[in-house]
Structure 1
Amino acid sequence: MDSDSESEDLLLDDEGVFDDFTVASSWERLISEIEATCRKWQTNLAEDCLVCGAEVCDGYGRLHKVHCDLNYGNKSYRLDFYFEVDKQGTADDWLMDCHHLQVSFGVQDFLVLAPVSMSGVILDAPEATLLLSAVSVALSNCGSIWPAFVPVHDPTRKAYRGIQGMRGPYCRSFEADRIGSQVPVKLMHLEGLYDLFISKLAFCSPDSAAEYDGKVSFSVRLTYHTPMPGFEISSAEDALTPTAKAVEGFDGDTSFKRQWDEECPWAEWYTVDDPIKGFELIATWANRIAESSLDMAEFENISVFEADKWLLAPIMTQVSEPLMESSNVSFAYRMRKLFEAFSISKEAKFMGDFCTGDSLIMKRITSSTMVPPTSVLDRVLKSLLPEGEVVSTLFEGRRNHQIAQDVKGAPTNSLFAQFCLHAMWFGDCNICAISVLWIEFVREMRWYWEELQSFPRMPRGGKPDFKSCLVHQKLQLLAACIERKAEEQHQHTQAVTMKRLNNDNTGWQGGADPSLPAEGTFEEGNNLESQEGSLMLLRTRDRMRLPTTQKQPLMTEDMLLEREHALVVLGDSPSGKMTRAKLQASMLSSDMSAFKAANPRASFEDFIRWHSPRDWVENDVFQDSLESLSPSSSSNNFENLSWPPKGRLSDRMAHPDNSWIQLWESVDPVPADKQKPLFDHTREGEKSTIGRL
């Protein structure tokens, strides 16, 4: 019984307390922990390592990592395993999203063992060797050939030592260092780097030692950054490529550098940080072979145009996303609010539907609907429409004008361009505030129309510019309507005044002057101008009179499209073709009627000589003699010339089916002021202020 109880006690002691003497030391326990962790990662990598909580490495799109914490002695370490989920290409490919260890050593999956400290590097060389040996033994036990690295030296040097067990009796050791200052001149050239690389190589065989022949396969990647500190980029208009010139006396201070948007229209309103800090051009030469340092020296002089691959990438300004999201003055914030309003704008019938936050449409807007007070609105309108300023300089430099045309926008400093700048600030660019500002702006435009006052920031005598935006074209059309209506009223006032003066003069003389027109037959302007000295009617040899014609109709881009659509709808029927021809020839028909009224006995040839001189082929001798005569020349001089002159219509005008001849025969002589207006400025002005703005 005693012996049995003693044996049971010994058995319990063996089961309760078991010491594994194979991992007795702390170094051996570290190897055991690394081995267990690596076996776990090997198993998960074969299935799906992302399930284990792997995270994406910042800046490396395809690279993921997992980690575990280790203890050795009184120090803590972190073991990171970097792996690629989508292994595209080979380890020799030089991809732009590679880790710097992948670029330096051509590896794909690797381990990094680093201390948990402020520096994150190992400054003691024996400690680094001990850790590498522990990882090497653990990986050998796992049958893995993952390379392992430990960071050494100063953190700014990004120096690493590493080891990789190979199949068979071989292993590879890695050593990387980076020199940031006081670089030896020799290492600044490929020849010196080649010599350093060869000196670090060692090839050992168990049986014999072979001498390395010096043949090296290498790849080169050169990066060029812009802008270059200390250099100024200048480009002439006639030069194909810009040139970089060194700035004299450059001391490294870039605080007074010229801002990128100084010449842009918004410069006086808001200084926007350039989202693109610069550009970098990366030129890559892959898989080159060098057998000696002379080959490297020759390769150093190779042109960048001979590179295998170019990559041009922007260098973005680093701005934290929370700051950008919370900033009410950022471009992204304002653009998001406008896009949100645009998405529901089709459901609104009137601009007034956006003016209050109580409407059903505005309740779907998640952003602010705050509208500034009336005092702010009045200040904005006074800034937009300053009193006494009729015309402002629109184009401040060719570059700004070109920018407006490229984006089909309003010209710099024009009325609508200033409105847009105010709208971006008024109420933090919310659709409710913009709607209120727009409605008040249209009311002001209505006042200018009713009072026949010229718009500020709009040039006189202009016509809609199809290179600008549609709203600017509408404002140009309305400004032209105001100008024409004011001119019409001025002419009418002058005619009435002249008529009253004629009547007063007739009563003072006590009788009618036969040289003055009768009261009932007075024609406003009489539709005639001075005689042309060198032109006479072919049939009667009377002096040709220049008629007053109607001004050309003004159209915006959408009006022109509506007109073209109406012409297409007419179809190809005979009546449709006739109506289309009349609409297309309305301006020509008006000119013919005015010419017939001014010259009742004129022929079609006379009209061509006045309206389209290129279609009248004149005898050179007669033309020279005719032009030498002045209006005061004696009529006997004309009698000495052969009449009619030896001239003819051009081939296209003399063709029997020419529509101009048919139109000439069909129109009646009607002065321009008695014709139906080709362009009703009153109607178009009303439509612009009510429906189209």
Structure 2
Amino acid sequence: MAADSDPETEVFEITDFTTASEWERFVSRVEEVLNDWKLIGSSAGRGEYTSGTWEEKSQEINFADFKFSITHHYLKQESDKSDLKEELEEDAFPLAMQDLLCMNNDFPPRAHCLVRWYGMREFLVISPGANCEAITSESKCNLLLSSVSISLANSGCQVPMFVQIQQKWRRLYAGECQGPGVRTDFEMVHLRKVPSQYNHLSGLLDIFKAKIGCPLTPLPPVTIAIRFTYVLQDWQQYSWPQQPPDFDALLGGEVGGVEFGKLPFGACEDPISELHLATTWPHLTEGIVVDNDVYSDLDPLQAPHWSVRVRKAENPQCLLGDFLNEFFKLCCRKESTEEILGRGLTEEEGKENTDLSAALSKLTEPAAAPMSKLSVSSMVHSARKHIRRHRRVDESPLSNDVLNSILLSKLFPAKSLMPTTRLIDSLSFQNLFNQLKSAPSDSLTYRLALCVCLVNFYHGGVRALAHLWQEFVLEMRFRWENNHLVYGLASGAPDLRCCLLHQKLQMLNCCIERKRARDESRKASDGGKERDRPLPGGGENGRRSRREGAAGASPGKSWDSWSDSEDEFFECLSDQEEAAAAKEGEAEKGGAGRAKPPDGRLHPHGTMTLLNPSTEPMYIPVTQEPAPMTEDLLEEQSEVLAKLGTTAEGAHLRARMQSACLLSDMESFKAANPGCSLEDFVRWYSPRDYVEEEVVDEAGAPVLRGELSARMKIPGNMWAEAWDTARSVPARRQKRLFDDTKEAEKVLHYLSVQKPADLTRHLLPCILHAAVLKLKEEESLEDIPSVKKAVQQATSHASKQLRHPNPDHKKLEEVISQLVAVETVIARARSLKAKFGIGKAEAGEDSEDLEKFVISLLEEPEVAVLGAGRGPAGSIIHKLFVSSQRVKRSPLKPMGGGLNVPDFPPPAGREILLRTCVPRPAPYSKALPQRLFCVLLREDFRLAGALSSDTSFF
């Protein structure tokens, strides 16, 4: 009792041997993964390969704190389940063991290394994690292999499982495959030097026989497959055909320069670096061929199968790619034009910019006395001359010759050489500028983009670009001040399908056209002729009147006859003058009993008459054209209208702001048709809003009676309010809906403040447009199916980005990379065509077959040569190797005289595949497949063996 109550009684520690160890947990985890992937049980099937694609899936597993990754590689293919069941009943061998003897996948062109060495279509690999050290210890390797063996045995999985050991670059694997009563062990040997006794087929056969041989029974014949690979690096006389561009003649127009309007194209170096010829003897039997350290029967010219692959140069320098990348880099610059051209130049320009600002302020501010056009022009051009006078010749990034060549020959050629309206691109490209939101390929904006790109690449980079842009802006101002149209731009309102810079230039052209029209009208008024121009309105008849007005107008007062002949501006009446005119009109109507005389008539509107009095004919008035707008102005206007809110007052104010054109047309209609009513205006402007029906009058005769539509009768209707406030004022006396002077100055200011980076972003769509056109042109000459698809994909990708308000910089880089990749493929095709003589007279009837062969080389990893060394392609390849061998001959040796120069160099790589079926490990065991794959390189020797054994009878 005392002992039991003693608190210091000794307590024995109990060890629980049923707790799973880390190794057991690892094995269990591997089994769980096999079960999750449904790899449990038999996987027997046909021993033939079918077309399919390789897929893989991975999962992480841990051994204590060490991370592993288990990956399942499998060939996804379609097979008949009934055939699989029949195969299961007949043969219980695992599918991997059948694949060891299958000859349908010897030397695959592109596959996992284990597929090439063992010919499998499904396998598992356990490899260390990304940041884990390699398994170099022999004890750890054995522990992993035992884990694999137990997992396969417990789960019944018949898929072979490998463990990656040693450093990853060595590609060493050890593994196992288990089936009912059979097992295959996968072993490897890797050396840096090839042992001399195993440097040929005879020595490798000795290794294979010693590994699988059973001393009591004779070995069956060994099946052999051999492949030798020869590498051609020196093309010699088949040099790269691309000619370097003539840098001095690019913009000068000399003979040999790049044709203007097209970007340069092609690779500056040969994009094909090597040609690999694989000569294969697929089905040989031991004793048929001799290959030892003294003699070899393996002549590449006698090989029954030839296949070729090309090694492509990594990132070859391409002209179009360089142009696009260098131009795109400018988007990241932050300097202004003044900062790029130099601080000294900026200080000298400070005073001139003050003169320019003063000129602009005097152009826009209301002046008491009219300013003559000559005074403004002289101010601006004196400042311009002052700028150029202080810019020394050696400070100019662009020489005068280059600058004059660009401005006079490329951007602003003679009027007779340039179309006044946009020319339509070819049918296949006509929607490309709309798709990319660039500009038509015959436009000034498109030519400017090409010039800027060429100047940036060849003539001084960003400084030359800034210089060219500064001169371009000055030229635009000169044309505005002197009423010279900018040719190469479509007439009419800005095309919103194009880039913003193109719209701005079109807007400037619109301003110049309006200004010239006013000047011509003033001159016509001096000669007693009126040349009013109509503007589009809201209705069908209104649009017709404006088209007809373009042809001519009825005699009457001139548009600007009321204003001072020397005043350049179109001023509206002041408030006092408007009030006085209104009182005068009322006095004339009420006091004198007669209406104000008509003014601003274009011509009668058919046989239509006014409703009151009914005998007075209705006249179509001369109206103003609505103001053209660019997309940024439309967006700005939308924001202003949106800020008015949804209240009744805001909606009313919004409607009034949007009815400026309607009010102008109403005033013109009242002036042309004194005594008219709103119903008369609606009948002309919007006929659908005047409903007529046939009724019977008091005398019983059918008559037409009309009234305004329901929407026109809504209380507070904006048309009725505008009609009540509209005065009888002809178009020439109205305030201009479009102030061309103000809008032109806004455009010129917008152009002048653009930084080189801003200009680059504006012109990038045009450059990509030009690049796509160039690729399509070059592709049509080569006819490569994959290139057509790649160009379409790149164009679609570019369209999504360029039509976005804020394109993603990285995605634009991807677009350029796609275009450069297409250029590289075309350059590779041309290189191969030149080497195989395609297009030359000696190609003859085989030209079409050779062209198909070349296209296949570009699109497939490896291409079989029809006829091997005796076919047309094989003969050319043979000549290429012979030429290369002659070049390697020492120049000190005579060209003739008994020298035996081989046609082919020593093979760069030799692959020998040995396989057979023998009973192992005992003579009475099952005959199981055995395989040895040998790789012999200059500094690499590898043996990959798959040795099967019977686990039931041994």
Normalising by the residue count of structure 2, what TM-score does the alignment of the two structures yield?
Answer: 0.38
Look up the match of 2:750: 691
Q: Write out aligned runs for 1:97-246 (5 A).
A: 98-99=112-113, 101=116, 104-106=119-121, 110=173, 111=188, 124-132=200-208, 153-156=226-229
Hey, what's the Cα distance between the residues in 1 that align with 2:681 and 2:205?
A: 104
Hey, what's the Cα distance between the residues in 1 that align with 2:330 and 2:208?
A: 61
Report if the CA contact (8 A) 1:597-1:670 is conserved: yes
Hey, what's the Cα distance between the residues in 2 that align with 1:131 and 1:606?
A: 109
Render the CA deviation track for 1:633-666: whole Å, top value 9, x for unaligned: xxxxxxx998984122222223334221222112
Look up the match of 2:613: 540
Render the CA deviation track for 1:553-584: whole Å, top value 9, x for unaligned: 10000011111112223345665444322211
Within the candidate set 721, 725, 740, 1:681 is matched to 740
Look up the match of 1:483: 513
Hey, what's the Cα distance between the residues in 2 that align with 1:271 and 1:647?
A: 69
Instruction: Compute the displacement of 1:604 (Å).
Output: 0.8
Render the CA deviation track for 1:352-399: whole Å, top value 9, x for unaligned: 323349999xxxxxxxx9944231121111211102235265322133
Asked if 1:88 corresponds to 2:88, the answer is no
Report if the CA contact (8 A) 1:410-1:416 is conserved: yes
Look up the match of 2:814: none
SS, match of residue 153 in structure 1: strand
Hey, what's the Cα distance between the residues in 1 that align with 2:662 and 2:731?
A: 12
Q: Write out aligned runs for 1:203-602 (5 A).
A: 268-272=262-266, 318-321=312-315, 323-324=316-317, 329-331=319-321, 333-345=322-334, 348=335, 350-356=336-342, 371-382=397-408, 383-388=410-415, 389-391=417-419, 394-428=423-457, 430-460=461-491, 462-498=492-528, 526-541=599-614, 542-572=616-646, 576-602=650-676
User: Unpaired runs of 5+ in structure 2?
Assistant: 1-53, 57-66, 78-107, 126-161, 163-172, 174-187, 214-222, 232-240, 242-258, 272-308, 347-394, 531-554, 564-597, 753-954
User: Unpaired runs of 5+ in structure 1?
Assistant: 1-59, 63-83, 138-149, 159-254, 256-264, 278-314, 361-368, 501-515, 623-639
Hey, what's the Cα distance between the residues in 2 that align with 1:657 and 1:354?
A: 58
Q: 1:105 to 1:674 in 2, by over 3 A?
A: same
Amino acid of the structure 2 residue aligned with 1:674: R
Instruction: Compute the displacement of 1:339 (Å).
Output: 4.4
Hey, what's the Cα distance between the residues in 2 that align with 1:136 and 1:546?
A: 107
Instruction: Compute the displacement of 1:90 (Å).
Output: 3.6
Instruction: Compute the displacement of 1:320 (Å).
Output: 2.8
Instruction: Compute the displacement of 1:98 (Å).
Output: 2.8
Normalising by the residue count of structure 1, what TM-score does the alignment of the two structures yield?
Answer: 0.51
Report if the CA contact (8 A) 2:605-2:617 is conserved: yes
Instruction: Compute the displacement of 1:423 (Å).
Output: 1.4
Look up the match of 1:628: none
SS, match of residue 399 in structure 1: coil
Hey, what's the Cα distance between the residues in 2 that align with 1:473 and 1:103?
A: 65
SS, match of residue 618 in structure 2: strand
Hey, what's the Cα distance between the residues in 1 that align with 2:740 and 2:433?
A: 28
Report if the CA contact (8 A) 1:122-1:152 is conserved: no
Q: 1:517 to 1:424 in 2, by over 3 A?
A: closer
Instruction: Compute the displacement of 1:668 (Å).
Output: 1.6
Q: 1:122 to 1:86 in 2, by over 3 A?
A: farther
Render the CA deviation track for 1:158-213: whole Å, top value 9, x for unaligned: 9xxxxxxxxxxxxxxxxxxxxxxxxxxxxxxxxxxxxxxxxxxxxxxxxxxxxxxx
Instruction: Compute the displacement of 1:689 (Å).
Output: 1.7
Amino acid of the structure 2 residue aligned with 1:353: E
Amino acid of the structure 1 residue aligned with 2:447: Q
Hey, what's the Cα distance between the residues in 2 that align with 1:379 and 1:427?
A: 15
Report if the CA contact (8 A) 2:327-2:456 is conserved: no
Hey, what's the Cα distance between the residues in 2 that align with 1:405 and 1:518?
A: 43
Hey, what's the Cα distance between the residues in 2 that align with 1:318 and 1:410?
A: 36
Report if the CA contact (8 A) 1:448-1:454 is conserved: yes
Hey, what's the Cα distance between the residues in 1 that align with 2:655 and 2:702?
A: 36
Instruction: Compute the displacement of 1:446 (Å).
Output: 1.3
Report if the CA contact (8 A) 1:410-1:469 is conserved: yes
SS, match of residue 430 in structure 2: helix
Instruction: Compute the displacement of 1:154 (Å).
Output: 3.5
Report if the CA contact (8 A) 2:695-2:705 is conserved: no
Instruction: Compute the displacement of 1:419 (Å).
Output: 0.8
Instruction: Compute the displacement of 1:592 (Å).
Output: 0.8
Report if the CA contact (8 A) 1:538-1:606 is conserved: yes
Hey, what's the Cα distance between the residues in 2 that align with 1:401 and 1:595?
A: 41
Hey, what's the Cα distance between the residues in 1 that align with 2:557 and 2:343?
A: 67
Hey, what's the Cα distance between the residues in 1 that align with 2:561 and 2:120?
A: 101
Q: 1:135 to 1:578 in 2, by over 3 A?
A: farther
SS, match of residue 603 in structure 2: strand
SS, match of residue 452 in structure 1: coil
Q: 1:573 to 1:86 in 2, by over 3 A?
A: same
Hey, what's the Cα distance between the residues in 1 that align with 2:197 and 2:427?
A: 57
Q: 1:498 to 1:619 in 2, by over 3 A?
A: same
Q: CA RMSD in A?
A: 4.8
Instruction: Compute the displacement of 1:478 (Å).
Output: 0.8
Amino acid of the structure 1 residue aligned with 2:619: R
- Which of structures 1 and 2 has the larger relative contact order (alpha carbons within 8 angstroms, sep 6+)? 2
Instruction: Compute the displacement of 1:151 (Å).
Output: 10
Amino acid of the structure 2 residue aligned with 1:377: L
Report if the CA contact (8 A) 2:55-2:74 is conserved: no
Amino acid of the structure 1 residue aligned with 2:747: S
Q: 1:125 to 1:683 in 2, by over 3 A?
A: same
Report if the CA contact (8 A) 1:604-1:664 is conserved: yes
Hey, what's the Cα distance between the residues in 2 that align with 1:133 and 1:372?
A: 78
Q: 1:128 to 1:441 in 2, by over 3 A?
A: same
Hey, what's the Cα distance between the residues in 1 that align with 2:729 and 2:438?
A: 42
Q: Write out aligned runs for 1:651-670 (5 A).
A: 651-670=710-729
Instruction: Compute the displacement of 1:133 (Å).
Output: 5.8
Render the CA deviation track for 1:226-259: whole Å, top value 9, x for unaligned: xxxxxxxxxxxxxxxxxxxxxxxxxxxxx9xxxx
Hey, what's the Cα distance between the residues in 1 that align with 2:621 and 2:715?
A: 27
Instruction: Compute the displacement of 1:470 (Å).
Output: 0.2
Hey, what's the Cα distance between the residues in 1 that align with 2:310 and 2:515?
A: 54
Report if the CA contact (8 A) 2:419-2:487 is conserved: yes
Corresponding residue pairs, total: 408
Q: 1:375 to 1:523 in 2, by over 3 A?
A: closer
Amino acid of the structure 2 residue aligned with 1:528: R
SS, match of residue 618 in structure 1: strand
Report if the CA contact (8 A) 2:197-2:203 is conserved: no
